[in-house]
Structure 1
Amino acid sequence: MIQDGAAVLALIAMSAASTLIGFASHWSPKLASRPTDVPVPDGDIIIITRDGAFIVVQCSEEIARELYIGPEECNYLVGDQSFRILVGIGTLLVILSVLFLGNCNWTMQAVIAIIYIILNALYWVVSLFQEKYLWDLSRYDWQDVTPKYMANADSSTEGGSSPSFTRTLWFAIQVTRTIQWATNSDAAPKTAAWKAWLELAEANCGDKDWDAIGEKDRLMREERLRVGAQRNFVDKQGTSATLPVRAETA
């Protein structure tokens, strides 16, 4: 057995520093709640991702506040002043542990270094776990109610329909049966063709066989022809511009 008092003190100091800083940083989420019991409509949420996907979450107002629209706040175990004090003490312990490690023999320095390398590697491995292993969501019950023909919207369907933004938007409108969220969130471009398409999509949201992509392409062609005709008309009505004559000065 290697007898090295400096190594023992270094381990105690490092362990105490980690414990204090972890205790000072401990927190739990503060869930938003409704202050009244007045009946309200469902709190369905539409999440638009950067990849152009639409996630429709059908839930109550309480769940929507807790998970999506409520302010993100944390309940820390200690107050601000206690946090500063504990972190300061932890920092001093880290400095002391470095000094003690500098006075250890080479064997103990190597052993301690290997141990902490392994610990950091384990922390990194844990961070790769799925969220269900890291967060306790047992208070929520959920199920995937996506219609079968809408599943795997990022792949081609049996009918030959290729994945596209228009098709995904059409799927979301079918589920929500309204386009209000699409217009309010600017989910679609603000053009006459897209506005007309959204209105048609809302009117046909009960017909899953409606050719959403074909209608969009037709409206786009009509708008392109209309804009082209307007530009040609403006070009034909072009007027000559003259520069003002500058008065001569003596």
Structure 2
Amino acid sequence: MTDEEYLKAISHRLETEAAPAAIITGKGELASINSAFSSIFHCDRDVKSFEGLDLDSEFIEQISYVQGKVSLQNKPLVCLIVVSDDRMKGAFYTRVAPLISPNGTLLGVESLFFDARVIFGLTSYLHTNLFYLRDDVQLSLDVSESEWSFTELQKTYIFFILRNFSQHQIAEVMNVHHSTVSSSIKQLKAKISKLTNRTVRTTEELKRVAIEFGMIAFAPEVFFDKTRIILFHHQLTDWMEWNKTSKPQ
């Protein structure tokens, strides 16, 4: 099978995806997009570049950066893509994976865009009204997000901590000093410990308790106000591990 035939086959497969999907070549061209992508990003099916999408130039530069990083590391990356302009507003959990032909040639990357509202909605449902079965004992958590007294800033910290961002990485994304992040997280641990009546001394304990009590669904509104891309430090399949972590020990 030639590279061209392989790309054509992948394009046919992507057309069956309900989520927007695109194949981006090593030259940064759009080799293929599916119907969902065309509909969401308001573009013709024959568009060949991101410039043709009429999106913010900074956004296009960041897309190119993610593509280059995936190609260089030869492994998938997950990012949150926020689009906020006159034409559209939306947020997408996006998985960008290297596209390698059967003969081992790196042809570009394959991108799948999952509506963040669906992701957050599912995690909110599964973790706010969560039922676990363990040793024939059923446990339920009935605390809703509205009952927590977290500020938007605190929700932002929780959001990034649960996605494996280090304090230095959080400081970089939020454009604040590391000492500010360190102090804020220390206060956050004390607050979560008091609210949940659990011991929260370490970051891992914070993660476990936050997941158990449904805080994984927190979405920081401050990051949806402009077009941006935030690289995550986890894969979408890591959610399986979060689910294991959240079960009572």
> Structure 1 length normalisation: TM-score?
0.28
Larger strand share, 1 or 2: 2
Larger helix share, 1 or 2: 1
> Structure 2 length normalisation: TM-score?
0.28
